[in-house]
Amino acid sequence: MTGKLSDKDMDQLEQWIGTGPKTFTLLYAITRDGCNATTFHQKCDNQGATVTVLYNQQGSVYGGYTSSDWYSTGSYYIDTSAFLYQLRYSNTPTPVKFPYNNNGNSIYKQANYGPTFGGGHDLHTFSGTVNNSGGYFALNGSLYIGNSYNAQGKNTNQINNGNMYVTELEVYKVETGRKQKPANDKKPWRQTRNWNEQFLNEITEDIVAFKPVPGLKVKDARILIVGPVGAGKSSFYNTINSIFRGRITQKACSGSAEQSLTTAYTPYKVKVKSGSPLNFRLCDTRGLEESQGLDVLECNYLLDGNIPSYYQFNPTTVINPKTPGFKVNPSANDVIHCAVFVLDATTLEVMSSKIIEKMKGFQDLMNQKGIPQTILLTKVDKLCKDVQRDVSLVFKSPEVEQHVEKASQLLGLPRANVLPVKNYENEHDLDDNISILALLALRQVLYFAEDFLDHMLDKMDDAKSEESE
Ligand SMILES: Nc1nc2c(ncn2[C@@H]2O[C@H](COP(=O)(O)OP(=O)(O)OP(=O)(O)O)[C@@H](O)[C@H]2O)c(=O)[nH]1
Ligand SMILES: [Mg+2]
C-alpha cells in the first residue's frame, strides 16, 4: 500500500522540510491498521523523521512533521524543525506551513496518544482507540494552532472545517534521498529486454551491423528528421553521435530560439570511435514554422533527393530547379528512406494547428511515395519525475504512455511508431539508460528504412522480370 499522499504533496512537504530530496514510506494508516495509539507506536516509534497527514470528509488535508523519533515513554520534547501544515482546504490547494514558534515543547510522545504536536497540544490527533464509524473516524483529539506553532492568521475552522472527523490518518517515514526505482514495480506498457550493459551492447552491434539492402547500390540509408522549431532534432543527432563517439559531442548546433537554430540541410554521418562511418545518414533540417520555412514543395524536393547537402534554407524563398546545386537527377542514394517527425512531448497539447497541417501535408507526400514514418517523442524526462531520475522507467511511466497515445493520434500513426527519447542536453557524461532509449529508437527507424529499401528492391526486380518477359 502506497498511501494517499500525492507526488505533488510530497514535493511541497520536501520543500518545507528544506533539507533536500526525501523519500516517503507509509508506516501507519488508520484505515489499514486501525485507529489505536498502541498500534501507532508499534508502527512508528524509533523510525526517525515522520510526517502525519489527516484527510477529512470535506476534502481538507493537514498535519504535522517532526524530525524526531516517536516513542512511548510519556515526555514532552522540543524539536525546533517540527512544523504543522495545511495542504488543502475543502479540496482547494492552500499550502501553508505553520512553523514552531519557540514557545515550549513542539512534540508530545505518550503511549496512549496518537501523533501529538505542541505543549498545549496545537494538534492532538487521538488517544486510546477510535472506531471506524462507517467511512470516517470521529477522532477524539483537537486542533488549536497558536500555542507552540505560528497559525499564520488562520483559525481552526479554516483548517479542519471545525471538526476532527477524518476519513484517513497516515504517518510516513521521511528519509533523506530518493528511492532508486519507485516505479519499478509497475507493469511496462511496452515490453523490452532487461536494461543492462549487455542490452546496450546488443543494440549498438545491431546498428553498427546495419547495411542498406545489397543490390540497390544504396550506400547509406537516409533518415529525414523534421519537426517544429526546438523539438530536439539536432539534439537527437548529437545524442546518437555522442553514443558512438563514446563522449558527449555537439556537432549540430542546438539550443532555443524563436526561429530555427538549424538553417542548413545536413545529412550527418555517425562515426564510431575508430572513425569509420555507419551506413546511415541523419538528415537534419530547419524547424517548421507557421508562416515560413520548410513547406510542402520543399519537403517534396527533400524526399526525392533534389536538395543538395548543406543547402542553406531560405525561410522566405523556396528552392527551385534553377537554384545552384539543385539535384535534377538524384540517385537512389539521395532519396529519403524513412522520415522521423520529432515532437516535443511537453508541447503536444499546444502545438499550433498550422504546424500540424504542415506535417500532415508532408505525410501525404510520404504516403504517396511509400516512405515509412515515425515519431520521435523527445523530452520525456520533463513529463515524469521518475523518468527524469531514471530513464529506464520510461516504459513504465503512465505519463509517457499517455503522450505516446496523443502523438500517435496527432499524426495518425500506429503507437508502435512513436519512439520516446530523452536526448543528451545537460549531461557531461554518457548514461547507459539514456543511450539505450535513443538507440532503441534509432534501431527501429533503421528497420523501417530497411523495409522501404527492401520494397524498392522488390519493385526493381519485378520491373526487370516484366521487361524480360
Ligand atoms: N530536457 C530535455 N531537453 C531537450 C531534449 N532534447 C532537446 N532538448 C533541448 O531542447 C532545446 C532545442 O533542441 P534542438 O536540438 O536545438 O532542437 P531543434 O529541433 O534542432 O531546433 P531547431 O533547429 O531550432 O528547429 C535545446 O535547448 C535542447 O537542449 C530532451 O530530450 N530533454
Ligand atoms: Mg536544429
The 10s digit of each residue's pLDDT in 344-403 is 999 998 899 999 999 999 999 999 999 999 999 999 999 988 899 899 999 999 999 999
Residue 297 and residue 222 share a domain: yes
Residue 215 sits in a domain whose CATH number is 3.40.50.300
Residue 145 and residue 248 share a domain: no
Which one, of 387, 424, 433, lies nearest residue 196 by Cα?
433
Determine, yes or no, domain membership for 236.
yes
Identify the pLDDT of residue 184.
61
261 lines ligand 1 (CB under 6 A): yes
- 182 — pLDDT class (breaks 50, 70, 90): low
Which one, of 413, 271, 256, lies nearest residue 340 by Cα?
413
Residue 107 and residue 214 share a domain: no
Ligand 2: centre distance to CA 34 (Å): 58
Residue 238 and residue 309 share a domain: yes
Q: Which single residue is written with the C-alpha cell 515522520?
A: 50
> What percent of the chain has a predicted confidence (pLDDT) above 70?
98
Residue 170 and residue 30 share a domain: yes
Q: Which of the two residues, 71 and 253, has the higher pLDDT score?
A: 71
> What percent of the chain has a predicted confidence (pLDDT) above 90?
78
How many structural domains are present in the chain? Answer: 2
Ligand 2: centre distance to CA 234 (Å): 4
Q: Which of 114, 146, 176 is the last residue of a domain?
A: 176
232 lines ligand 1 (CB under 6 A): yes
Residue 280 and residue 233 share a domain: yes
pLDDT tens digits, one per residue of 311-342: 998 877 888 899 889 999 999 889 999 999 99
Identify the pLDDT of residue 253.
84
Residue 230 and residue 268 share a domain: yes
Q: What is the mean pLDDT of residues 241-256?
A: 89
Determine, yes or no, domain membership for 297.
yes
Residue 109 and residue 256 share a domain: no
Determine, yes or no, domain membership for 376.
yes
Which mutation among 225, 235, 385 tests ligand 1's pocket best, with the greatest number of atoms within 8 A of CB?
235
Q: Tell me which residue has its CA closest to atom 21 in ligand 1.
A: 230
150 lines ligand 1 (CB under 6 A): no
Identify the pLDDT of residue 181.
45
Ligand 2: centre distance to CA 263 (Å): 8
Weakest-pLDDT range from 13-17, 159-163, 277-281, 388-392? 388-392
User: Which ligand has the shortest distance to the CA of 377?
Assistant: 1
Determine, yes or no, domain membership for 190.
no
DSSP class of residue 336 equals: -
Residue 255 and residue 139 share a domain: no
Q: Which of 176, 209, 228 is the last residue of a domain?
A: 176
Looking at the DSSP bridge assignments, the partners of residue 86 are 62, 96
130 lines ligand 1 (CB under 6 A): no
pLDDT tens digits, one per residue of 287-316: 998 887 788 999 999 999 999 999 998 877
392 lines ligand 1 (CB under 6 A): no
Task: Specify the ligand 1 atom closest to the Cα of 229.
Answer: 25
Determine, yes or no, domain membership for 186.
no
The strand order across the sheet containing 107-110 reads: 73-77, 107-110, 116-117, 123-124, 142-143
Gyration radius from the chain CA atoms: 30
Ligand 2: centre distance to CA 372 (Å): 22
Q: Would you say the C-alpha torsion 276, 281, 282, 283 has a positive or negative sign?
A: positive
Identify the pLDDT of residue 180.
45
Q: What is the mean pLDDT of the chain?
A: 93
388 CA to centre of own chain: 6
| Residue 335 three-state SS | coil
Q: Which of 143, 176, 209 is the last residue of a domain?
A: 176
Flag whether pLDDT at 416 surpasses 50: yes
Give the DSSP per-residue string, 209-257.
H--PPTTS---SEEEEEE-BTTSSHHHHHHHHHHHHHTS----S-----
Determine, yes or no, domain membership for 2.
no
Determine, yes or no, domain membership for 422.
yes
Q: Report CA-CA distances (Å) from 215 to 269, 394, 397, 445, 456.
A: 22, 39, 43, 21, 10
Strand-strand pairing, 123-124 and 142-143: antiparallel
Flag whether pLDDT at 1 surpasses 80: no
Residue 415 and residue 299 share a domain: yes
Residue 274 and residue 155 share a domain: no
Q: Which domain holds residue 62?
A: 7-176
Identify the pLDDT of residue 412.
96
Determine, yes or no, domain membership for 383.
yes
Ligand 1: centre distance to CA 408 (Å): 21
Ligand 1: centre distance to CA 65 (Å): 40
Q: Which of the two residues, 37 and 292, has the higher pLDDT score?
A: 37
Flag whether pLDDT at 439 surpasses 60: yes
Whole-prediction pTM: 0.66
Residue 251 and residue 106 share a domain: no
Weakest-pLDDT range from 99-103, 165-169, 332-336? 332-336
260 lines ligand 1 (CB under 6 A): yes
How far apart CA 263 and CA 169 sit, in angstroms, is 58
Q: What is the mean pLDDT of residues 144-170?
A: 97
Identify the pLDDT of residue 315.
78
Q: Tell me which residue has its CA closest to atom 12 in ligand 1.
A: 230
